[in-house]
Amino acid sequence: MQKISLINNHFVDSQKDVWVLRNITPLEFKKVGDLKGKTLFVTGASRGIGLAIALRAARDGANIAIAAKTVTPNPKLEGTIYTAAEEIKKAGGQCLPISCDIRDEKSVKDAIEQTVKHFGGLDILVNNASAIYLTRVEETDMKKYDLSMSVNARGTFLASKYAIPHLKKSKNPHILTISPPLPEINNKINWFSVTGTGYTLSKFSMSLITHGLSGELKDDGIACNTLWPRTTIATAVVQNLLGGDDAVTKSRSVESMADAAHVILTSCSKSTTDNSYIDDEVISSVHGPDMSKYKVNTKINEIDLMPDFFV
């Protein structure tokens, strides 16, 4: 609770300018079609934001590989790779559920090869899998530190490494990483002290890897971008770790991230790369500034929503 109090104290000071989207220069996206027939490999997509991105792609008729660890129901966390697969099929897509440990090299390599063999190729990698904890360095169990670095940083590096050879064969390839905007490292707010040095390091590592890839893969035409929410998103993480029902009520739905991801992934990969995107900036640039439909509680004012970390 002390950590949440500290974060909320920062939010009180910063909220005034958060959602004045009319002052943001619209982003430009060169749309190249929808995701029908495209193949996505989405890590950690048995629930939450990853599943929402997969479902939005499924509505276009995409092929989706769900790569996650959850194969049996958990009373504290809804969803498995198999329940996610059923939802994706009902939404109009094809799905391959794969039990995959993002920390294990062979598991990741085999999962991507299985995806390519099953669907005939790979067009999009979504690095979504993530582990969170919010403790100061002296209070951090090294197992938690190692877990977050293995899932967040190493997992992003690993999935990207084995996806790249296949993405090079795609006509409009994308790597999209769900991680914070790199410019926030230089924010006057020391996010490392607010959200914990270890966790923050692991999340910005995901962004740094994606930034590096954008340079390495520029000549290959592979778009490498990050996407992060302006507000907290109504997920199990927010429910269980960041304030329960009250935090969920002050959040946006997962669809805000899914719709923003869809805009990015349907844009020209050669002209849309090395960007740190925020969900509402992407959506407002294409569909207008009204974000009210994404509020979990429509009676709450935009200004009273809970900003997420790193923005």
Q: Is residue 300 part of a domain?
A: yes
Phi, psi of 152 (to 5 degrees): -75, -60
Structural domains in the chain (count): 1
> What CA–CA distances, in Å, run from 3 to 14, 50, 238?
17, 26, 14
Percent of the chain with pLDDT over 70: 91
> What CA–CA distances, in Å, run from 126 to 49, 179, 212, 249?
11, 11, 16, 27
Mean pLDDT of 29-54: 95
What pLDDT digit, counting tens, does each position of 118-156 carry?
Answer: 999 999 999 999 999 999 999 999 999 999 999 999 999
The CATH number of residue 243's host domain is: 3.40.50.720
Q: Is residue 311 part of a domain?
A: no
pLDDT category of residue 21 using cuts at 50, 70 and 90 = low
The Cα 57–Cα 54 span in angstroms is: 5
294 is catalytic: no
What pLDDT digit, counting tens, does each position of 69-79 carry?
Answer: 888 877 777 78
Domain boundaries, position 43: 34-304
Question: Would the pLDDT of 19 be above 60?
Answer: no
Q: Is residue 223 part of a domain?
A: yes
Angle between helices 155-167 and 197-216 (to 10 degrees): 20
Q: Is residue 22 part of a domain?
A: no
Q: Is residue 171 part of a domain?
A: yes
Question: Would the pLDDT of 55 be above 70?
Answer: yes
The residue annotated as part of the active site, out of 133, 145, 162, 199, is 199
SS3 at position 93? coil
Mean pLDDT of 211-219: 98
Q: Is residue 12 part of a domain?
A: no
When mean pLDDT is compared across 20-29, 73-82, 252-261, 277-286, the lowest value belongs to 20-29
Q: Is residue 310 part of a domain?
A: no
User: What residues are paired with 67 via a beta bridge?
Assistant: 43, 98
Q: Is residue 7 part of a domain?
A: no
CB 132 within 8 Å of CB 140: no
Question: Would the pLDDT of 87 be above 50?
Answer: yes
